[in-house]
Structure 1
Amino acid sequence: MVPLSVLDLVPIGSGVSATTALAASTALARRAEELGYRRYWVAEHHGMPGVGSSSPPVLIAHLAASTSTIRVGSGGVMLPNHQPLVIAEQFGTLEALHPGRIDLGIGRAPGTDPRTARALRRGTDVLGADDFPEQLLELRAYFAGDGPVRAIPAEGNTPAFWLLGSSGYSAQVAGLLGLPFAFAHHFAGGRGTENTEAALALYRERFHPSPVLDAPYTMIGAAVLAADTDEEARRLALPGALSFLQLRLGRPGVVPTPADAAAYPYSDEERAFVEDRLAAQVVGSPDTVREGVRALVERTGVDELMVVTSAHGGPERLRSYELLADAVATAGV
């Protein structure tokens, strides 16, 4: 059995308030725990009307307090956006509040536009991806009590570190440091997994045992949506694909309803983009999803699968995770 986990962007649908979206994510975290999902991560995004997960530490604190056994963490915190000391204090506090349940997934890219990145930091300069190794070493040093200043209560309260990436760079860093690695396969387009497989191979090739891991440990994020039929699953998945299209066009908005997504006047190029996006996902009935997940796990050889499900409404997302858990458990994927 390959463990399943959840990646949540707290999608905000058309006509849905942030309060309702956050309540739906809280309910989903509780249900995921009941269904046996291993971990529940939230992603850092800024300035996107359709994404409510702009503050992972705040949301993690709430979700961890609303559950009791599932691991809760960031997928991830974008290190260039924040001072390492602040992250150490935040996640040290979370680990002290919920010992043994907090994951600190770290991303290398700012994950937002330069203007927003500047607003996130006190100064006018924005540290970029090139500063990542120095920032990461400083962050880890705070938890070990070796930082330039003391980070309380980070010292002695170290969460589980993960490195996240969508290219080979973070894969190499994770391997050299002996940390678990999560690849953002759900960012990919088309049907192939070439970039994913290449990054995972690079991680395994460069892996050095560490006090954290004796052997490589890999996880990928995969976009999955399950419904009672293939047709219904595609109908529910279309709004997420349209949202991604609008983001790429520079017009980010809330997640449209299935009816609005179906009625959208797609150009030929837009239709091709949306179809490519859907082709990269595992979308369908429980049988279809079971086989799609099995094939993805076999191709990549991952140790864990983290599922992100984008839909307009909270009930549809919750139902998808229920169907997926049952389908995978039945198949023994």
Structure 2
Amino acid sequence: MSRLRDLPLSVLDLAPVTTATDARTALGHTRELARHAEALGYTRFWLAEHHNMPGIASSSPTILIADVAAATSTIKVGSGGVMLPNHPALVVAEQFGTLTALHPGRIDLGIGRAPGTDPQTARALRRTAGPLSADDFPQQLQELRGYFEGTETLNAVPAHGNKPAVWLLGSSGYSAQVAGVLGLPFAFAHHFSSENTIPALQLYRQRFTPSEVLSEPYAMVCAAVIAADTDDHARWIAGPQALSFLKLRAGTPGPLTTPQEAADYPYSDLERLIVEDRLSSQVIGAPDTVAKSLEDLLTRTAADELMVTTMVADQKDRLRSYEILADLAALPTSAG
């Protein structure tokens, strides 16, 4: 029995900017990837929200969702996610109500609790020096849901009557518990918080309360995957994103390098250990290697859906990685 072949398979994209491209090219590549994913039979295509990061062009997921949804016809499109502390709930409701009205049944609103950026940028987004605490998130979420349900005093046109599918996102146990209590689907960021995956999913399932949305828990795990025709090539094209993580950790983020630039970087012994640790939590390799790793991940997590993010410098390598995954999962179109 193959869990990979039994579960929906989806995409998380960050619109990576490389040393050989620019933001405009990156956004065009995102549109191309979304069309490719739809043709391959993927279930949904989500866009992340990141700010003040030279290597990521997905700072405005709402605008990207509109572009991708207009460029495709069947795949579900959404946010992975909207970082709620960065935005007034009213604005998010208006935007996603508009998207849902334009593309009924195709829009996902994935909501995150963290700002997804550095403190200075977070202050600029909120235009206040006061940080939001974890205690503020439930109130923000309640207000947002109220606009869609018509329980708030203000009328967030066209949110009322045009409610997207709402997900909670998380990389720890907090959002897992909130999603469980509210009976919402939960997406966990295994790709950057792998050590918390199992505990968070356990909390989600333990706290789950049936709702009008779900009668049973529904958990999606997002994994970093780089598939190629050989193990060696997969490791080669994985170098740039590992170096990007290293630079981000050092406070000097930059564009995604080429594989050769990543190989030529003068790593210290400590930096090599950090890079290897980063790579060890990802799924990287030829089809058989990737299939084995993903089957293990899905068995350990008992996930109901798998989402994949692939950060490589060359668009052809990125498209090929998703082709390999679609074939391994025997998605409807690729199976034919």
Q: Distance in 1 between matches of 2:116 and 2:126?
A: 14
- What does residue range 262-277 of structure 1 map to in structure 2 within 5 Å? 262-277=263-278
Which of 16, 21, 24 matches 1:16? 21
Q: Is the 8 A contact 1:227 1:233 kept in 2?
A: yes
Deviation at 1:119, TM superposition (A): 1.2
Matched, 1:63 2:68: yes
Mean CA deviation greater in 5-14 or 143-152: 143-152
- What does residue range 274-289 of structure 1 map to in structure 2 within 5 Å? 274-289=275-290
Deviation at 1:122, TM superposition (A): 3.9
What's the counterpart of residue 308 of structure 1?
A: 309
What's the counterpart of residue 48 of structure 1?
A: 53
Deviations 1:48-90 (A, max 9, x none): 0000100000000000000000000000000000000000000
What's the counterpart of residue 121 of structure 2?
A: 116
What's the counterpart of residue 322 of structure 1?
A: 323
- What does residue range 57-206 of structure 1 map to in structure 2 within 5 Å? 57-188=62-193, 194-206=195-207
Q: Is the 8 A contact 1:6 1:306 kept in 2?
A: yes
Deviation at 1:324, TM superposition (A): 1.1
Q: Is the 8 A contact 1:25 1:314 kept in 2?
A: no
* Aligned pairs, number: 327
SS at match of 1:162: strand
SS at match of 2:262: helix
What's the counterpart of residue 7 of structure 2?
A: 2
What's the counterpart of residue 214 of structure 1?
A: 215
Q: Distance in 2 between matches of 1:308 and 1:321?
A: 9
SS at match of 1:185: coil
What's the counterpart of residue 39 of structure 2?
A: 34
Deviations 1:269-326 (A, max 9, x none): 1000100111100000011111111111011100000000010122211110001111
Deviation at 1:105, TM superposition (A): 0.3
TM-score (norm 2): 0.95
Q: Is the 8 A contact 1:226 1:283 kept in 2?
A: yes
Q: Is the 8 A contact 1:118 1:124 kept in 2?
A: yes
Deviation at 1:194, TM superposition (A): 4.8
Deviation at 1:231, TM superposition (A): 0.3
Deviation at 1:127, TM superposition (A): 2.7
SS at match of 2:139: helix
Q: Is the 8 A contact 1:44 1:54 kept in 2?
A: yes
Counterpart of 1:201 in structure 2: which amino acid? Answer: Q
Deviation at 1:263, TM superposition (A): 0.5
Counterpart of 1:284 in structure 2: which amino acid? Answer: G
SS at match of 1:142: helix
What's the counterpart of residue 235 of structure 1?
A: 236
Deviation at 1:120, TM superposition (A): 1.1
Runs of 5+ consecutive residues of structure 1 not aligned to the other structure: none
Deviation at 1:175, TM superposition (A): 0.2
SS at match of 2:329: helix
Deviation at 1:123, TM superposition (A): 4.1
